[in-house]
Chain A
Amino acid sequence: MATQTHMHGRIGESIKRKEDGRFIRGKGNYLDDIELPGMLHMAILRSPHAHARIKSVDTAAASGMPGVIAVVTGELMAQHKLAWMPTLSYDTQAVLATDKVRFQGQEVAAVIADTKYQAEDARDAIVVEYDVLPAVTSPQQAKEAGATLIRDDKENQKDNHIYHWEAGDQATTQAAFAKADKVVRLHTFYPRCHPAPLETCGCIADVNGATGKATVYMTSQAPHAIRTVFALVTGLPEQNIRVISPDIGGGFGNKVPVYPGYVVATAASLLIGRPVKWVEDRSENLISTGFARDFHMTGDLALDKNGKMLALRVHLDSDNGAFFADAQPTKFKAGLFHIVTGSYDIPTAHVTADGYYTNKAPGGVAYRCSFRVTEASYLIERLVSNAAIELGMDQAELRMKNFIQPEQFPYRSATGWVYDSGDYPKAMNVALEQLGYAELRKDVGARRQKGEVTGIGVASFTEVVGAGHGADFDILGLRMFDSAELRVHPTGKALLRMGTKSQGQGHETTFAQIVTEELGIPAADVAVEEGDTDTAPYGLGTYASRSTPVAGAATAMVARKLREKARTIAAHLLEAAEEDLEWDTGRFYVKGSPDKAKTIQEIAFAAYTNVPEGMEAGLEGVHYYDPPNMTYPFGTYAVVVDVDKGTGQVKVRRVVAVDDCGVRINPMIVEGQIHGGLAEGYGIAFMQLITFDAEGNCIGSNFMDYLLPTAWETPQFELGETVTPSPHHPLGAKGVGESPTVGSPAAYVNAVIDALSPYGVTNIDMPVTSDKVWAALRAAGVTE
């Protein structure tokens, strides 16, 4: 029999990244690096107030300043019916304010000038008169009787309530609670934070007056969907719109939505007839673009006296800001939050959610998160650890006792999810062993005897990623499939184009490896292109860990289609029957005669030079993949912390992260993503906070106030893995980019709460800063 051909870059091989070359030479092509002939620069004037009526906008002085080409106001946009735009959640959002400003940082006017410096000078010369109104800065305030109405622009909006949403079964849940021996409650606030990719958002709009073609370069994670939204908003024919996402300097969900600046720049380019560039500065990014979280959650977990979970009841109030602009599937108002039963076999659950308008920036993006699963995972994992404390049980043991068991998959959860595969006890055991949990528990006990404040936190998350299935998951009606187009050239080299868009995830390498695996073309010979809507097949983009589950599957499927055509050509070349051919990565050979073979390169050449009678020439295809289900990555994270009694400072001593994301295509890239997510999880747990004062001023509007982890704070990570393939994904892969941000915040906080539990502390909301920890110790009478 034929031996397996060695092929560089197959699935499972940690080949070095193909995209690195340009980045390490400083030759990346990010949005702000693009310079078009005749290009102008735009600066946006933003509201200093959280809530105010606009009395007047005076642009006279600004218009006369050096280099100024145009000043755009809400009034001008309204003349073109572009003062408002639809959001991704069927609401409307002001492009440039005409009536009121509803959050600090809202877009009021824009200046287009020859240079960035001139545009910013003139922006500062625009005079706006405001009547300041009271600001609403929390859902609690928003629902108070007599609260100021934020959305008086909406005809039927009489209060600040946006939506009520439920999942699960109220009656059976109530009945289960009635029989419970123990009910554990946790009220926790998952505060507002911001993805803050290192590159801010921006665009260059280039509308060609002669042809009507609008080319918009944009920092977009979802260029195809943006093109369609643009067509619907502006009325431009879709074939005349080309969205190009160049290299993207991190996204993490921040670059999914359509922002007002994109619309203004495009309108300005249309009116002026020259390209217009707009790039946010960091403060604009933090105060106006898609934030994350801001969920006030109350969870009740019912258990019997042996610690068996009986039911879960959750209510949340969501702070959505001034416009309901969450980027999430249409059906689910609170995203996928109702995955909140997590890794546990909880027979019944009831989830209720209410969304509220506040005078804060809109957005609600899934920050390194699959549509609110992060908040859900945090709540259940904190709740379970608190239950263990209240029951006097070990937190790992309580989890083990309640895990969905491997033989229960596919598992239908109490709120209707069908988990594809998992082995939660195994991941837990690997993590505990790697940590040396039993020994460490003893060590913690010994240290506490000596008066040290130390603890271990565990979290066993279940993720839900890879949207759709398209019938259940859509954004503005666009079904969440994804696509891959593969062209094999006559010399056997290939071009793969996809509907997704890498922002650092390494798509150019990972997806080339899928072609290598399926078609036997070395990864080095496969160019991967994404982000140009004129050339790439339609797709919904890269977020919610969906690229590998959806577009990765599409890549495998299109490669398999080509392999079948290659088989026919090989049979023709070898003068053999198709059914007599065997595939060995990279070649077909005649069964029993391994030397009678044709390589994929020979077959590709023949596809253009010598095809069987009646066959179309060429070796290319496209596949649109609509996944039958989501994938459900999971894992167990364990964290050890030491707390300084004198200062409240938390030092993370160890982090063990065992991830199961199914089959790993490039393990090096997977591990890199896990490192990054664990660091962001650390930041969210301990540092990153966007908050507001009573007037609605944003605190956290620059990197001196919005603290991101540096190499100095960030702990070392010890990774482990288990592999439970997804049964429905063609490669068994599940997606991984977000697991560590979803799973780790609860592990970090559980460790702190474990450390403080001897003092009766049961909760500290994130970020767990030194002052909060110090105050908790102080309240418990601990001083040093």
Chain B
Amino acid sequence: MKVAMKVNGAERSGDVEPRVLLVDFLRTNLRLTGTHVGCDTSSCGACTVLLDAEPVKSCTVLAVQAEGRSITTVEGLAQGANLSPIQVGFHEEHGLQCGFCTPGMMLVGASLLERNAKPTEEEIRWAISGNICRCTGYMNIVKAIKHAAMLRAAADAESPGRPTVAAATAGGE
């Protein structure tokens, strides 16, 4: 059946079986391979994307459930050559090693910062507790999200009213 959704700000559509998972639609039909599959049981969070700005595990969402909605994947975080604060944070604080969990972690982190501009250590750890990382022991991931919060605060101080990542990729909704 036909399915259409906005992905990283662009209208995308495809013809899929009703059973096709959102993660497979993104990876196979749209070739957006930054969203990964780690467990198939929504335990690990490697497949996390933002669905209408909320993190969801795309291995447990059907592509057809995203009909008419807005998806942000890791490929939608940067604006052209400009990395988003969360991406900068992960690089600066060594928040990734093998990189497999990183897209999901960054999207959860970015989403957290949309709701809570200055999260505490505990709030960050709770927010990312649905995402498993096998390499970093999480300490630097927490630092990376704090780093991103600091960058966002600095940017806000310079130009208040900047659009959010999710809003930007959703086409300014």
Given known pairs A678-B137, A704-B41, the reply for A26 and B103 (CB within 8 Å) is yes
For A669, the chain B residues whose CB sits under 8 A away are: 94
Asked if B98 is an interface residue, CB under 8 A from chain A, the answer is: yes
Neighbour of B134 across the interface among A28, A250, A505, CB < 8 A: A250
- A702 CB within 8 Å of chain B: yes
Given the known interface contacts A24-B106, A26-B75, A703-B43, the answer about A680 and B38 at a Cβ–Cβ threshold of 8 Å is no
Contact partner of A717 among B17, B24, B130, B139, CB < 8 A? B139
Q: How far is the CA of A546 from the CA of B135 in the complex (A)?
A: 17
- CB contact between A675 and one of B37, B40, B98, B136 (< 8 Å): that residue: B136
Residues of B in contact, count (CB < 8 Å) = 57
Contact A23 B136 (CB under 8 A): no
Q: Is the CB of A25 within 8 A of B41?
A: no
In the bound complex, what is the Cα–Cα distance between A24 and B97 (angstroms)?
A: 11
Instruction: Identify the stretch in A207-215, A633-641, A706-714, A763-771 within 8 Å (CB) of chain B at 4 or more residues.
Output: A706-714
Contact partners of A674 in chain B: CB under 8 A: 137
Within 8 A of A (CB), among B96-148: 96-103, 106, 124-126, 128-142
- Between A and B, how many residue pairs show CB distances below 8 Å? 173
Whether a CB of chain A sits under 8 angstroms from the CB of B154 is no
Closest to B87 in A: A24
Residue A394 at the B interface, CB < 8 A? no
Q: Is A249 an interface residue (CB 8 A)?
A: yes
Q: A250-B98, A282-B40 are in contact. Are A26 and B46 (CB under 8 A)?
A: no
A252 lies within 8 A of chain B by Cβ: yes
Instruction: Determine whether the beta carbon of A25 is less than 8 Å from that of B78.
Output: yes
* Cβ-neighbour of B98 out of A249, A680, A712, A716 (below 8 A): A249
Whether A6 sits at the interface, judged by CB under 8 Å, is: no
User: Using Cβ atoms and an 8 Å threshold, which residues of chain B touch A20?
Assistant: 90-91, 96, 99
CB–CB A24/B91 < 8 A: yes
B60 within 8 A of partner (CB): no
Main secondary structure, interface of A, reads loop
Contact among A16, A35, A504, A716 with B99 in the assembled complex (CB-CB below 8 Å): A504
Quick check: which of A193-201, A385-393, A522-530, A547-555 contacts chain B, the rest being far away? Answer: A193-201
Q: Are A24 and B83 in contact (CB under 8 A)?
A: yes
Q: Do B35 and A26 touch (CB < 8 A)? A: yes
How close is B106's CB to chain A, nearest CB, in angstroms? Answer: 7
| With A25-B34, A26-B34, A504-B99: A668-B94 Cβ-Cβ less than 8 Å | yes
Does B36 lie within 8 Å of A30, measured CB to CB?
yes
A610→B92 CA distance, assembly (Å): 42
Q: Are B19 and A117 in contact (CB under 8 A)?
A: yes
Q: Are A676 and B136 in contact (CB under 8 A)?
A: yes
Q: Is the CB of B98 within 8 A of A503?
A: yes
Give the distance to chain B from A581, nearest Cβ to Cβ, in Å: 38
CB of A192, distance to nearest CB on chain B (Å): 18
Contact A711 B134 (CB under 8 A): no
Q: Is A169 engaged at the interface, CB distance under 8 Å to the other chain?
A: no
Q: Name which residue of chain B comes closest to A702, CB basis.
A: B41
**What CA separation (Å) do A248 and B44 show in the bound complex?**
17
Which has the most chain A C-beta neighbours within 10 Å: B37, B101, B141? Answer: B37
* Most chain B beta-carbon contacts within 10 A, residue among A16, A506, A672: A672
A506 touches B41 (CB 8 A): no
CB closest chain-B residue, reference A669: B94
**Is B169 located at the chain interface by the 8 A CB criterion?**
no
Is the Cβ of B94 less than 8 Å from the Cβ of A708? Answer: no
Contacts of B139 in A (CB 8 A): 675, 716-717
The answer to whether A305 has its CB under 8 Å from any CB of chain B is no
**B94 with A17: CB separation less than 8 A:** yes
Chain A residues with Cβ below 8 Å from B32 are 26
Asked whether A26 lies within 8 Å of B94 as measured between CB atoms, the reply is: no
Q: Which of A706-763 contact B (CB under 8 A)?
A: 708, 710-712, 714, 716-717
- Asked whether any CB of chain B lies closer than 8 Å to the CB of A247, the reply is yes
**Which of B36, B37, B99, B132 contacts A708 (CB under 8 A)?**
B132
Q: Report the minimum CB–CB distance from A263 to chain B (whole Å).
A: 23
| B149 proximal to A (CB < 8 A) | no
Contact pick for A249, options B17, B100, B106, B130, CB 8 Å: B100
Which chain A residue shows the least CB distance to B89?
Answer: A24
User: Quick check: is A534 within 8 A (CB to CB) of the other chain?
Assistant: no
Question: Do A197 and B98 touch (CB < 8 A)?
Answer: yes
Q: Flag whether A33 is at the interface (Cβ < 8 A).
A: yes
**Residue B65 interfacial (CB < 8 Å):** no
Asked if A281 CB lies within 8 Å of chain B CBs, one says yes
Q: B58 at the A/B interface (Cβ < 8 Å)?
A: no
A214 to B43 Cα, complex, angstroms: 36
Most A CB within 10 A of own CB, among B44, B75, B138: B138
What 1/0 flags go to B36-55 for Cβ under 8 Å of A?
11111101101000000000
Q: Which residues of B contact A21 (CB under 8 A)?
A: 91
Report the Cα distance A200→B59, complex, angstroms: 15
Q: B91 and A25: CB pair below 8 A?
A: no
Q: Is the CB of B137 within 8 A of A714?
A: yes
A30 surroundings in chain B (CB, below 8 A)? 33, 36, 100
Chain B residues lying within 8 Å of A281, measured Cβ to Cβ, are 40
CA distance A437 to B93 in the complex (A): 30
Interface centre among B27, B78, B102, B140 (most CB of A within 10 A): B102
Q: Report A417-440 residues with CB < 8 Å from chain B CB.
A: none
A532-579: which have CB < 8 Å to B?
Answer: none
Q: How far is it, in angstroms, between the C-alpha of A17 and the C-alpha of B90 when the chains are bound? A: 11
B70 within 8 A of A: no
Structural contact, A711 and B138, CB atoms closer than 8 A: yes
Docked-complex contact A27 and B128, CB < 8 angstroms: no
Judge if A32 is at the interface, Cβ distance under 8 Å: yes
| CB-contact partner of B33 in A26, A250, A282, A712, under 8 A | A26
Q: Whole-angstrom distance between the alpha carbons of A360 and B155 in the complex?
A: 56
A residues 221-246 near B (Cβ < 8 Å) are none
A656-B164 Cα distance, complex, nearest whole Å? 39
- The interface bits of chain B over 16-31 (1 if a CB of A lies within 8 angstroms of the residue's CB, else 0) are 0101100010010001
Q: If A117-B17, A249-B98 touch, does A711 touch B141 (CB 8 Å cutoff)? A: yes
Q: How far is the CA of A69 from the CA of B114 in the complex (A)?
A: 48
Q: CB-nearest residue of chain A relative to B122?
A: A712
> CB < 8 Å: which of B75, B125, B142 contacts A25?
B75
A486 in contact (CB, < 8 A): no
The distance in angstroms between the C-alpha atoms of A717 and B141, with both chains bound, is 13
Please state if A247 and B134 are interface contacts (CB–CB under 8 Å): no
Q: Is B44 a contact of A198 with CB atoms below 8 Å?
A: yes
Whether A198 pairs with B97 at a CB distance below 8 angstroms is no
Contacts of A710 in B (CB 8 A): 128-132, 138
Report which of B39, B98, B130 forms a contact with A504, defined as CB distance below 8 A. Answer: B98
CB of B134 within 8 A of CB of A282, answer no
Q: Given A117-B19, A198-B133, A679-B138, decide whether A23 and B39 contact each other with a Cβ distance below 8 A.
A: no
- Assess A117 versus B20: contact at CB under 8 Å? Given A26-B75, A714-B137: yes
From B94, B96, B103, B129, contact of A711 by CB (8 A)? B129
Judging by beta carbons under 8 Å apart, are A23 and B38 in contact? no
Contact across chains for A675 and B137 when beta carbons are under 8 A apart:
yes
Q: A198: which B residues are within 8 A, CB to CB?
A: 36, 38, 44, 46, 98, 100-101, 132-134
In Å, the complex CA distance between A24 and B105 comes to 10
**With the chains together, A675 CA to B136 CA distance in Å?**
6
When A and B form their complex, which 7 residue pairs have the shortest distance between CB atoms, in order from nearest?
A26-B34, A504-B98, A249-B100, A23-B99, A26-B74, A675-B137, A679-B137
Beyond A24-B91, A249-B36: 10 further Cβ-contacts under 8 Å?
A19-B99, A23-B99, A24-B96, A26-B32, A197-B100, A675-B139, A676-B97, A710-B129, A711-B128, A711-B138
Residues of B bordering A, CB below 8 Å:
17, 19-20, 24, 27, 31-41, 43-44, 46, 73-75, 77-78, 83, 87, 90-92, 94, 96-103, 106, 124-126, 128-142
Chain A residues packing against B (C-beta within 8 Å): 16-17, 19-28, 30, 32-33, 35, 116-117, 196-200, 247-250, 252, 281-283, 503-506, 668-669, 672-680, 702-704, 708, 710-712, 714, 716-717
21 contacts between A and B (CB under 8 A): A16-B91, A21-B91, A24-B96, A26-B74, A28-B100, A32-B36, A33-B27, A117-B17, A199-B36, A282-B39, A283-B40, A506-B97, A669-B94, A672-B140, A675-B137, A708-B44, A710-B130, A711-B128, A711-B131, A711-B138, A717-B137
